[in-house]
Structure 1
């Protein structure tokens, strides 16, 4: 049975969405992250992902944390052709259920931890009018033969990487602890839809018809350290190895769509025109190339390092800070997806303020530099720099049960690619979480 099916048996149905992180990574692995993204230095059940070495500093017991996130998304792209005409495209498909699960069993100087969720991926999108690459291709490739992009196109995309990770943490002494773990990743990327074109004044209507599915399985190692010299300060560190993902691509409709809609003919001044002619034109575009039948190959998740600290400034106020660094330039990539990237990073700050024994207020901010630039963006792969503003509340119902509600607004930095396609998006994310101690 595939790993994502096993996760569904646990009652988790994934609909991942790109929000925090770099390249394909997703930083938001639980509801608490949406209240303050500076999680790496905290000791808690969420440490099963963010600070595994810190889980050994919990009180003895078995903990389970169940999370759900709801993402309201607004993704837009637009293309301006050589005549100054602008085509706009939008996807506002929501992700109502984005769950994750953490379990920690701590006894004495040892803790066992487990996390399940969507470690990476771009989520689900639906562009009813197609994507900006279509008018760009028509303008660049088809205009010389009296061609253009017509209405009636639809594009659906989905990208999610289901992950299971677990391991063990152990105290070395009264201040230091370490952790080692393993992550299993089942990745799937889909691209499906139609694009309508016309050439020779509408006499021929080439049909872009694609149904592509790319799948891969990978393994990564996880290593952690935690330093807690006293009851006020805590420092967490985490390193994850590169995850090898050798994607197998299944796509069988694109060439047939062009061959069935374009008759072979000789055009004066142009030469031979056929379905393969249009297929080869499309093959040159980086937004489409990886989804074609030739698009199998490695698209690994980069190695990453994280560091974070928490400091209890007063009996009520705890300050948080953390950072993530993604080693993108060293990541294996057969198809050129990561060409021209720099290494990416995130920096975050936050605070907890305990109003009383029952209620805690949380807030935070994060800046993400993805390492991307205008040479890297395509319609199916644009990771924009972002500012994330977060807040939340935690309620201690009893010594065994805590509940939380959180919210983040993610504002992405608008940008253009080298084809003058403009990209913009924002996300409203809502989180609910439950922590129970046995």
Structure 2
């Protein structure tokens, strides 16, 4: 297959569906039916409002689900179009809750951050000065897995609190293979006919904390706040190469023109922390069948260490949603989210671009039995185009999800 070498070297830009540069706001399919989850009192609270878990009935709960997304990234410059697509991005989730009396204990896993594997078959604008024409293949993976453990305690009829610990394991991998008719031209290095492979695995791990508070003054109103601390992540590259591509790549990356390749060179270390975030939400039952919600997230992006990625301001988002029970078994959901990432023009390049966005969602819940509930959802993320130095950056996401929650 005809491809331009290095077209997606660092283009594993995150598929964050909110205002954080990295962290995913959509932990479960329920978010994709209604993004205003931060004051929920359902099993979804294990991800969005752990202090609210004390309002579940006593018992054990297990939830499992997954999200599939079709993601398109696009850049336009001087009449040229650079486009990449990942039609099958997958985010799974699994949680367990034990509720007894005034206590609730929870554990969950899922995607904390990460994005698609992108392949720009026609190259990218800001790396054009590095590239000739030729054949090659590039495969990449960008995935952050999380595991959370915590507990919630009811202080009285109105107030409850929660605390937990979060573990993050992150990978940013790339595999490159090229044939001899691929040419690299980063000055002052002359043009070469290169062949060989270069495989780079960048990994990091870290811990953080989660703290929450929930206030429920009556059966209709609920308010909640949750704070997730920063998770420090230092990525280290473990890389190997073959052929003259493997021999040349470190030299190319040390050149100013090839600086975008530096993070994948063997032994490279650099910080890219997950930022702290503050979640806030409110839910109000208008009637026994109709509930409205609202809230948002605030991301302390500027306070996270990000080597070589300065210029980010704090990000924020606001959302609204509603649920309406149309029958004994079926409940319909919908919502909207607006996000500003805090990315300034100086943070935009072909390796990453964080766009503000509108999110539109719709979904349904089906109570199959008193102990088993299904959630179905779909979401469209409309990113706001942004032009920097003659390059117009675009992306969009269409996603669907399904999950099941079972009480035993």
- Equivalences for 1:31-46 in 2 at 5 Å? 31-46=29-44
Deviations 1:334-393 (A, max 9, x none): x222x1111011111000011121111100000111111221123232221111000001
The residue that corresponds to 1:204 in the other structure is 191
Higher percent of residues as strand: 2
- In structure 2, the residue corresponding to 1:149 is in which secondary structure? coil
* Deviation larger for 90-99 or 343-352: 90-99
How far has the Cα of 1:28 moved from its partner?
Answer: 0.7
How far has the Cα of 1:128 moved from its partner?
Answer: 2.8
Alpha carbons 1:353, 1:361 under 8 Å: kept: yes
Alpha carbons 1:342, 1:371 under 8 Å: kept: yes
Report how many residues are paired: 388
Q: Which residues of structure 2 form unaligned runs of 5+?
A: 1-13
- Equivalences for 1:20-59 in 2 at 5 Å? 20-59=18-57
Q: Does 1:225 align with 2:213?
A: yes
TM-aligned CA distance change 1:108 to 1:194, over 3 Å: same
C-alpha separation in 1, matches of 2:233 and 2:36:
28
The residue that corresponds to 1:186 in the other structure is 169
The residue that corresponds to 1:323 in the other structure is 296
* Deviation larger for 205-214 or 364-373: 205-214
TM-aligned CA distance change 1:180 to 1:64, over 3 Å: same
| TM-score, length basis structure 2 | 0.88
- In structure 2, the residue corresponding to 1:125 is in which secondary structure? coil
How far has the Cα of 1:129 moved from its partner?
Answer: 3.2
Alpha carbons 1:210, 1:251 under 8 Å: kept: yes
- In structure 1, the residue corresponding to 2:192 is in which secondary structure? coil
Q: Which residues of structure 1 form unaligned runs of 5+?
A: 1-15, 81-85, 139-147, 262-274
Q: Quick one: which of 104, 111, 114 aligns to 2:104?
A: 111
The residue that corresponds to 1:392 in the other structure is 363
Deviations 1:372-417 (A, max 9, x none): 1221123232221111000001111121011121100011111234
Q: Quick one: which of 121, 127, 130 aligns to 1:128?
A: 121
Larger Rg: 1
TM-aligned CA distance change 1:254 to 1:308, over 3 Å: farther
Q: Does 1:177 align with 2:160?
A: yes
* Deviation larger for 376-385 or 67-76: 376-385
- Equivalences for 1:190-339 in 2 at 5 Å? 190-193=173-176, 196-197=182-183, 204-205=191-192, 207=194, 210-253=198-241, 256-257=244-245, 276=251, 278-281=252-255, 283-285=256-258, 287-293=260-266, 295-333=268-306, 335-337=307-309, 339=310
- In structure 1, the residue corresponding to 2:264 is in which secondary structure? coil
Alpha carbons 1:17, 1:124 under 8 Å: kept: no
- In structure 2, the residue corresponding to 1:290 is in which secondary structure? helix
Deviations 1:181-227 (A, max 9, x none): 00111110123336843669xx9336496432210110000000000
RMSD: 2.4
Q: Quick one: which of 414, 420, 428 aligns to 2:398?
A: 428
Q: Quick one: which of 349, 355, 371 aligns to 2:342?
A: 371
Alpha carbons 1:29, 1:49 under 8 Å: kept: yes
How far has the Cα of 1:303 moved from its partner?
Answer: 0.9
C-alpha separation in 1, matches of 2:305 and 2:291:
40
How far has the Cα of 1:259 moved from its partner?
Answer: 5.2
TM-aligned CA distance change 1:88 to 1:244, over 3 Å: same
How far has the Cα of 1:154 moved from its partner?
Answer: 3.9
| TM-score, length basis structure 1 | 0.82
How far has the Cα of 1:332 moved from its partner?
Answer: 1.7
How far has the Cα of 1:153 moved from its partner?
Answer: 4.6
C-alpha separation in 1, matches of 2:68 and 2:162:
31
